[in-house]
Amino acid sequence: MKILVTGAKGFVGQNLVANLKNIQQGKNRTRPALQIDEIYEYDINSTQQELETYCAQADFVFNLAGVNRPKDQSEFMQGNFGFASILLDTLKKHGNTCPVMLASSIQATLIGRYGESDYGKSKLAGEELFFAYAGETGAQVLVYRFPNLFGKWCRPNYNSVIATFCNNIANDLPIQVNDPNVELELLYIDDLVEEMLDALEGKAHRCNYDGLAAQAAADGRYCYAPTTHKVTLGEIVELLDLFKAQPQSLVMPEIPYNSFAKKLYSTYLSYLPAEKTIFDLKMNQDERGSFTELLKTLSCGQFSVNISKPGITKGEHWHNSKWEFFIVVAGHGLIQERRIGSDEIREYEVSGDKIQAVQMLPGYTHNIVNLSQTENLVTVMWANEQFDPQHPDTFGEKVEAKHE
């Protein structure tokens, strides 16, 4: 299959092309039926002759080209409707009736605050042009009305509030929120790319529109990406402030699978400057070695790393309710546990050569011994709760002590 992507250097185009190349090069094997032979990248610096060649050979066209922030409002119609007309005329010239996807906008509904939008009017004109083309040629057209898009590589201070907020907060620049209660419908770039790949495989999700809302319909006039998120500006800023504080707090906010928070965090990270991509952790050091907290979560405990110098024993304490995993990743050690009130000792010899997780049980005093006289023992530790100095639930008692 030969695929033409117009607007290939734009936000959506870059993400789509990168993922098409992953499939073409065999790096993404999740769509084994999809065979990509050529990817034609057309953008503002491409020539008419290149467009002619691409339109003559393409088996599928993603038309992502468009104008979002022109110097003059009249450029909306020229850049959105005008190029769409050129593209379709070129396909007709070469008798190519392959499927064509159009990136339109929810603003094309001309409903509510979009009622007088020149941008929306130009997108609506482009839609009608595509539908007329389908009626004339019999070609399949897939018209998508995008809500607000966000994700990596989106240009800040342009037409995405998420990109602007992520960029500014990551770079310690001010943001402006006039009304934190304003709700946005947001579509993440990876969800959009997956939908476009579905379309490429003939599995586009179809819909009709009830106002601004997409209504799934097998024979719908439009297409849509089924996964979007409705979030207020205040909620977005609150999450971004938590993300920014993470290197200091070490607390990772709740990020459920496929949630908006997960997608926003990935987006935020893509705007971090080089100097903020690395940050120091507090190492608590003494003559025995060091202990460093790595990461804390709101409901799933914390991660730490413990370094024991040669011959050193650490621990010798127990917990009422807290439990832990000790995972030795380098060195050679011995983990011992003894139930309080008992003489029986459980012993586990561990090594970075065979990584294992050993559970520290509630009600068992435990330690970890570096058996080497020359090498450090490195242990990754997970505890089911963050350490609370006001309620540490930690009580000293040697493992070797005998019950009396």
Buried b / exposed e over 364-378, threshold 16 CB at 10 Å, is bbbbbbbebeeebbb
Give the integer Cα–Cα distance in Å for 370 and 366: 14
Measured from the Cβ of residue 319, the count of other Cβ atoms closer than 10 Å reads 21
List Cα–Cα distances, 42 to 21, 24, 63, 65, 149, in angstroms.
15, 18, 9, 9, 21
Measured from the Cβ of residue 137, the count of other Cβ atoms closer than 10 Å reads 16
Q: What are phi and psi of 237, to 5 degrees?
A: -65, -40
Burial class (CB in 10 A: 0-12, 13-18, 19+), 285: exposed
Give the integer Cα–Cα distance in Å for 354 and 386: 28
- 109 neighbors 120 (Cβ within 8 angstroms): yes
Cα 381 to its chain centre, rounded Å, is 27
Pseudo-torsion of CA 103, 107, 108, 112, nearest 10°? 160
Q: How large is the C-alpha radius of gyration of the chain? A: 29
Given the residues 114, 119, 133, 144, the one annotated as active site:
119
Give the integer Cα–Cα distance in Å for 201 and 144: 16
Give the integer Cα–Cα distance in Å for 348 and 338: 12
144 catalytic per annotation: no
Q: Which string of DSSP letters, residue by residue, matches 331-398?
A: SEEEEEEEETT---EEEEEEETTB--EEEE-TTEEEEEEE--SSS-EEEEEEESS---TTS---EE--
DSSP three-state, residue 129: helix
Q: What are phi and psi of 139, to 5 degrees?
A: -70, 150
Looking at the annotation, which residues are catalytic?
A: 119
